[in-house]
Amino acid sequence: MEISIVIPVYNKAEYIGHCLEGLLQQDFSSFEIICVCDGSTDNSADICDQWVAKEERIHVIHKDNGGVTAARRRGVEEASGRYIIFVDADDELLPNALQTLYNAIEQNQADEVVGTFRLHTGEISPVVYTGSANPDALIRTIITGKNHFPILWACIFRKEILENTLDTPREIIEGEDKMMQVKVLMKQPKVYFINDCVYQYTAGLPNNRHHTLEREKLYDDILREVLAPRWSTFQSAFILHQIKEYERFIAEGNDEVRTSYYQQVIGSLPTDIPLYDRTVWLLPPFLARPLISLYRWTIRCKQ
């Protein structure tokens, strides 16, 4: 078995059938699909079971709800393939995606290959890198929120490189994919980027994510521990990550996080913090908020 496609499934009854149907139309022979049904309260699991009955390449794992990271981990543990591709139940792989990703990772002897994607509206993601990329540079862009490339989907991974990367606690319900990718990149893998559009992402679906300080503290603690072996390399990027999250809180009107957390953990700023972020940090929240709004408006206009 060459490729295992892992799909975490939680309350996606409206989408999972279409996702599976598209995967089975791939023009690549050696692959399996592992649906990890994560305690859905709708009939997602029943739909997956119905597909298993008529397609031997589909396998279903039923488990109590444990969150998306645990679902992905269980899928990888059960996978028979040499390579792993993650697909969300409300998304789809584009035609020829498996063959394209497989050829790229085999021909370049890479640990990970990253393609491009399009939104369900047809908008195609930009090509940011081509060919081999430096893992340290990728880590910096990911943790500072400046990445414009796929983090988890539209990627193919050598199975071994995922070991001990899918252990983020379920309390982390936002940015868990970035945490996994950072753990992969800390292993200094060979990462190769291709220009091919291989994935369709369904944007704008409702979710129950809430930006809370408690969750952000936990995320910071885990990320700091992950980066600890090479802290001198990534300390500045980590502080910029904290400033970016602080800016998000201020934009949301949550001014008290400045004194209750961020002033205690950020301290003096490294010299390479960008001028905009340095200015936002130095201003009181009521003055920083309009600057953040203006900056975000400018970015949207450029896009």
Query: 281 and 156: one domain?
Result: no
Query: 223 and 267: one domain?
Result: yes
Query: 231 and 186: one domain?
Result: no
Number of domains in the chain: 2
- With respect to residue 239, please indicate whether it lies within any of the assigned structural domains: yes
For the residues 296-300, what does the mean pLDDT come to?
87
Residue 123 belongs to domain with CATH number: 3.90.550.10
Q: Domain containing 34: what range? A: 3-201
Query: 176 and 247: one domain?
Result: no
Query: 66 and 187: one domain?
Result: yes
Query: 182 and 231: one domain?
Result: no
Q: Which of 11-25, 121-135, 242-256, 277-291 has the lowest mean pLDDT?
A: 121-135
- With respect to residue 208, please indicate whether it lies within any of the assigned structural domains: no
Cα–Cα–Cα angle for 31, 155, 49, rounded to 5 degrees: 45
Spatial separation of the C-alpha atoms in residues 201 and 8, rounded to whole Å: 15
Of residues 122 and 295, more confidently modeled: 295
For the residues 91-97, what does the mean pLDDT come to?
96
Query: 174 and 219: one domain?
Result: no
Q: How confident is the model at residue 207 (pLDDT cuts 50, 70, 90)?
A: low
Spatial separation of the C-alpha atoms in residues 278 and 164, rounded to whole Å: 35
pLDDT of 123 > 70? The answer is yes
The overall average pLDDT reported for the chain is: 94
What is the pTM assigned to this prediction? 0.94
For the residues 183-192, what does the mean pLDDT come to?
98
Query: 130 and 103: one domain?
Result: yes
pLDDT digits (tens, 9 = 90+) for 83-92: 999 999 999 9
pLDDT of 141 > 90? The answer is yes
pLDDT digits (tens, 9 = 90+) for 253-270: 999 999 999 999 998 899
Q: What is the pLDDT of residue 208?
A: 64
pLDDT of 205 > 70? The answer is no
pLDDT of 204 > 80? The answer is no
Query: 253 and 151: one domain?
Result: no
pLDDT digits (tens, 9 = 90+) for 150-183: 999 999 999 999 999 999 999 999 999 999 999 9
Q: How confident is the model at residue 148 (pLDDT cuts 50, 70, 90)?
A: confident
Query: 150 and 218: one domain?
Result: no
